[in-house]
A and B are shown apart, each in its own frame.
Chain A
Amino acid sequence: MSSDLRRDLICAALILAVTAVFWTRQDFSTPTDVIFPRFVLVVLAVLGLAIAGMAVVRASRNGAASDGEAPEAGAGAELPPQTPGMRQAPGGRSAAPAAAAAPGTSGAGTSLTERAAAEDAASDDGKGGDEAGEEPVGGPRGSRPRWALPAAAALLLAWAAAFGLFGITLSGVVAFVATAILIRRGPGTPRRLLIDVGVALVVALFCWAVFTRVLYVPLPVSVLLGI
């Protein structure tokens, strides 16, 4: 099963599951309140089925086409389709449309600043991303360890849950430092950790002071710190 087909089927299954869950929770007494949510649910179900159906049809067509082309396709079949007007940059990256990137030429409706941006983007090609980065974060561009996504999701959820329980300062400082460590992929030196804690304290206390003392927005209070 191709990744596109799998993705579309997961998408359709999720939409249909959400629709089914919401459908079973309908308990309305006013006729005017029924119409809109029910219409939305019916359309969502139809769209979910359409996504699944189109994915299957597309996959079967692609399968038939690749069966017919298999003998002569060879390694070239693995290459992604190239958009007309795009040039292939060194390293396989697709660069901006040549018309927009080339100095002195302009596509219809392309502004001066956008042309400058295109030139800037073109000058990025082949240079790598972090040659002058002042902070050693996360290794080279594209470094995505598998644990990073679940760790990021768990950290944000835990921070959100702790926000109401432990107050802005305690949860804020701990989660701030944890996020900085996650982004650096490690705690680093003790000095770095101390700096992180200091920055976290300053930011959390500044936010607390602005919201509670200037804007009069009451924030959750930590039972441990009292603020």
Chain B
Amino acid sequence: MFPGIEEAVLQVVSPATLLLCLAGVVAGMAVGATPGLSATVGLALLLPLTFTLDPARGLVLMGAFYSGAIYGGAFTAILVNSPGTPSSIATTFDGYPLTRKGRSEVAIIAVTTASVVGGLVGVVGLLLLGPAIADVVLAFGPQEYFWLGIFGLTMIAGLAAKSLVKGFAAGFVGLLISTIGIAPVGGDVRFTFGFTQMQAGVPLIVALIGFFTVPAMIDLMVDPGSRAAAMRREARRREPGLLLRTVRDVLSRPLNLIRSAVIGTFVGMLPGAGGNVANLIAYNEAKRASKTPGEFGKGKVDGVVAPEAANNAVVGGGLIPLLTLGIPGAPPDAVIFGVLLLHGLRPGAELFTTQGELTFTFIIALGVSALLLAPVGLIVGRGLQRAVVRTPTAYLVPGIALVTMIGAYAVRNNPLDVVIMVALGLVGYGLRHLGLPPAAVVLGVVLGPIIEAGLGQGLLTASGDAVPWLSFFTRPVSAGIIVLVLLALLWPLWGRWRRLRAARTTSAAGAAGPAADTEREGTK
């Protein structure tokens, strides 16, 4: 069934390959934890090094680096509210509140466990189901991407705790920001206000750092005492057995882990979606399925487990269309695609047969890298966590500011991006005080290009039809996603209706109680 897998296993367990896996994971974690440096940038930096290695070892190094980078993005998301990569956006929602509660170590251990499980599920999906389900990817056209984006937008219902209208207003502000620059289909230049540097739009990383990190920095600058006592106590506290307790706790709810990992694997397969979307959808589904959805966003462990299991599963999932169809699932996969081509390897079904040893070496090494996340992450990640928790606020805030400014600059080597980042941060701070959740704005910025490209391309592909709009409703996969959208929209309404009904029943029983007592006494 798997020709060459035995040789592949032997090659992976060789000390040199294991050392490469370790080096790749550590380097990837360092890059992933740096805001502004995404997994794609890191892989591109690593590309020249792979020329000196044989194809198998080059791919092993790239795969390990990719896994480490996706995982590393969670550290800064948890510790300083700054997602290291866009794949960790949703990790900030509960990760930073956990840090503020003095539970950052729990969060780091939980995301490590989730990342290992997510990474392994993605690899198993790639190994067992890859060729079989790759055809599903081909059924996804522009219309399906449009609806996938709309499905992502339904997450606003979960993010807008106080006002659904304000939540959607924030989401549409994000969509508006995403329309700045050159249009993805027709190429019109829009809303640049005369700045030629704005033609490429507002980079996602810049918006992420701006909306998440800058308000957190301002909070600490305005009210340094708000760095809770719990955080300072955590710096001095040693909790024996915390590691095992947290791992057991995370694994005690396998459904959340598996569901999120499966979402990550599937979304990873869809070209253009990747970890940016997968972590948001997984978070939303975890919240929707939870018995205590109200605790999400306030420091719930499941809220960091879901996005991290999903984004690490994307690593394996994204390689399914790449290795079987030659279609990169996510931007980092495009760099790995380049490595394959540089070494004369042609992706496709025959890659698994003619180059079985090399292909399986790569896939198994990805699984080993996922396992290595545990020891490496627990040592490096907890070390970083302790360093951040112990750093005085007066040095922590300017340190974060410096790194995030370099990160924003490094995206396009454009100083204007640094100003945009701070300006968006100030806007985010203001919006938060007006009741508009910045997370919903970021959701709009992430999903805007997917929705707009799907809409434009869908209308163009159906331009021969009498009513091109109908193509968005008549395709079977589209119809399936529309059902999911409707369910996602109606679910919170149904929950609210149930709560209202329960409250009415309780108050009616409360009102009827004294009256019934009086009646009983009257009959005695």
Option from B179, B225, B397 in Cβ contact (under 8 Å) with A140: B225
Q: Are B292 and A32 neighbours in the complex by a CB distance under 8 Å?
A: no
Option from A30, A132, A160, A177 in Cβ contact (under 8 Å) with B232: A132
- Knowing A156-B214, A163-B409, A163-B418 touch, does A114 contact B179 (C-beta < 8 A)? no
Q: Are A111 and B301 neighbours in the complex by a CB distance under 8 Å?
A: yes
Contacting residues, chain B, for A47 (C-beta < 8 A): 165, 168-169, 172
Cα–Cα, bound, A153→B425 (Å): 9
- B221 on interface, CB distance cutoff 8 Å: yes
- A222 on interface, CB distance cutoff 8 Å: no
Option from B185, B225, B230 in Cβ contact (under 8 Å) with A121: B230
Contacting residues, chain B, for A73 (C-beta < 8 A): none
- B291 on interface, CB distance cutoff 8 Å: yes
- A108 on interface, CB distance cutoff 8 Å: yes
- Knowing A14-B434, A29-B188, A33-B188 touch, does A44 contact B426 (C-beta < 8 A)? no
Contacting residues, chain B, for A10 (C-beta < 8 A): 434
With both beta carbons as reference points, the residue of chain B lying nearest to A83 in the complex is identified as B294
Q: Are A33 and B398 neighbours in the complex by a CB distance under 8 Å?
A: no
- A103 on interface, CB distance cutoff 8 Å: no
Whole-angstrom distance between the Cβ of B49 and the nearest chain A Cβ: 12
- A219 on interface, CB distance cutoff 8 Å: yes
- B191 on interface, CB distance cutoff 8 Å: yes
Interface residues on A, range: 35 or more
Number of interface residues of B (CB under 8 A): 92
Q: Are A137 and B176 neighbours in the complex by a CB distance under 8 Å?
A: no
Whole-angstrom distance between the Cβ of B488 and the nearest chain A Cβ: 18
Cα–Cα, bound, A182→B363 (Å): 51
- B18 on interface, CB distance cutoff 8 Å: no
Report the stretch among B8-16, B99-107, B125-133, B344-352 that lies at the interface.
Answer: B99-107
- Knowing A29-B188, A33-B186, A134-B232 touch, does A7 contact B435 (C-beta < 8 A)? yes
Report the stretch among B75-83, B308-316, B380-388, B453-461 that lies at the interface.
Answer: B453-461
Q: Are B173 and A18 neighbours in the complex by a CB distance under 8 Å?
A: yes
- B395 on interface, CB distance cutoff 8 Å: yes
Q: Are B409 and A219 neighbours in the complex by a CB distance under 8 Å?
A: yes
- B508 on interface, CB distance cutoff 8 Å: no
Report the stretch among A60-68, A74-82, A197-205 that lies at the interface.
Answer: A197-205
Contacting residues, chain B, for A108 (C-beta < 8 A): 291-292
Cα–Cα, bound, A124→B295 (Å): 19
Option from B175, B229, B413 in Cβ contact (under 8 Å) with A131: B229
- Knowing A120-B103, A172-B402, A179-B397 touch, does A129 contact B228 (C-beta < 8 A)? yes
Cα–Cα, bound, A219→B405 (Å): 11
Instruction: Name which of B183, B291, B394, B456 has the most chain A CB atoms within 10 A of its CB.
Output: B394
- Knowing A176-B402, A211-B406, A211-B410 touch, does A152 contact B225 (C-beta < 8 A)? no
Instruction: Name which of A41, A134, A138, A184 has the most chain B CB atoms within 10 A of its CB.
Output: A138
Q: Are A183 and B418 neighbours in the complex by a CB distance under 8 Å?
A: no
Cα–Cα, bound, A207→B35 (Å): 13
Interface residues of A in 123-139 (CB under 8 A from B): 124, 127-135, 137-139
Instruction: Name which of A28, A113, A165, A177 has the most chain B CB atoms within 10 A of its CB.
Output: A113
Q: Are B176 and A37 neighbours in the complex by a CB distance under 8 Å?
A: yes
Cα–Cα, bound, A14→B172 (Å): 13
Whole-angstrom distance between the Cβ of A93 and the nearest chain B Cβ: 13
Q: Are B392 and A134 neighbours in the complex by a CB distance under 8 Å?
A: yes
Contacting residues, chain A, for B282 (C-beta < 8 A): none
Cα–Cα, bound, A57→B70 (Å): 47
Contacting residues, chain B, for A140 (C-beta < 8 A): 225
- A157 on interface, CB distance cutoff 8 Å: yes
Report the stretch among B245-253, B271-279, B353-361, B476-484 that lies at the interface.
Answer: B245-253
Instruction: Name which of A54, A168, A211 has the most chain B CB atoms within 10 A of its CB.
Output: A211
- Knowing A18-B173, A33-B186, A110-B292 touch, does A157 contact B419 (C-beta < 8 A)? yes
Contacting residues, chain B, for A213 (C-beta < 8 A): none
Q: Are A111 and B302 neighbours in the complex by a CB distance under 8 Å?
A: yes
Contacting residues, chain A, for B221 (C-beta < 8 A): 148, 151-152, 155, 179, 182-183
Interface residues of A in 144-181 (CB under 8 A from B): 144, 148-149, 151-153, 155-157, 159-161, 163-165, 168, 172, 175-177, 179-180
Contacting residues, chain B, for A41 (C-beta < 8 A): 176
Contacting residues, chain A, for B419 (C-beta < 8 A): 157, 160-161
- Knowing A33-B185, A44-B172, A121-B230 touch, does A137 contact B224 (C-beta < 8 A)? yes
Option from A32, A33, A120, A207 in Cβ contact (under 8 Å) with B402: A207
Q: Are B220 and A183 neighbours in the complex by a CB distance under 8 Å?
A: yes
- A112 on interface, CB distance cutoff 8 Å: yes
Contacting residues, chain B, for A133 (C-beta < 8 A): 229, 232
- B57 on interface, CB distance cutoff 8 Å: no
- A101 on interface, CB distance cutoff 8 Å: no
Q: Which residues does B use to contact A, with CB under 8 Å?
A: 31, 37, 45, 98, 101-103, 106, 110, 163, 165-166, 168-169, 172-173, 175-176, 179, 183, 185-188, 190-191, 193, 214, 217-218, 220-230, 232-233, 236, 245-246, 248-249, 252-253, 290-292, 295, 299-302, 392-395, 397-399, 401-403, 405-406, 409-410, 413, 415-416, 418-419, 421-423, 425-426, 433-436, 451-452, 455-456, 459-460
**With A141-B225, A183-B394, A219-B410 given, can you name 7 additional A-B contacts, CB distance below 8 Å?**
A25-B193, A108-B291, A117-B98, A121-B230, A124-B228, A164-B418, A179-B394
20 contacts across the A-B interface (CB closer than 8 A): A8-B434, A25-B190, A36-B451, A110-B292, A112-B248, A113-B246, A135-B393, A138-B223, A138-B225, A149-B222, A152-B217, A153-B426, A156-B218, A159-B422, A160-B419, A168-B406, A179-B398, A183-B397, A215-B37, A217-B406
Q: Which residues does A use to contact B, with CB under 8 Å?
A: 7-8, 10-11, 14-15, 18, 22, 25-33, 35-37, 40-41, 43-44, 47-48, 50-51, 54, 107-114, 116-117, 120-121, 124, 127-135, 137-144, 148-149, 151-153, 155-157, 159-161, 163-165, 168, 172, 175-177, 179-180, 182-184, 196, 199-200, 203-204, 207, 211, 215-220
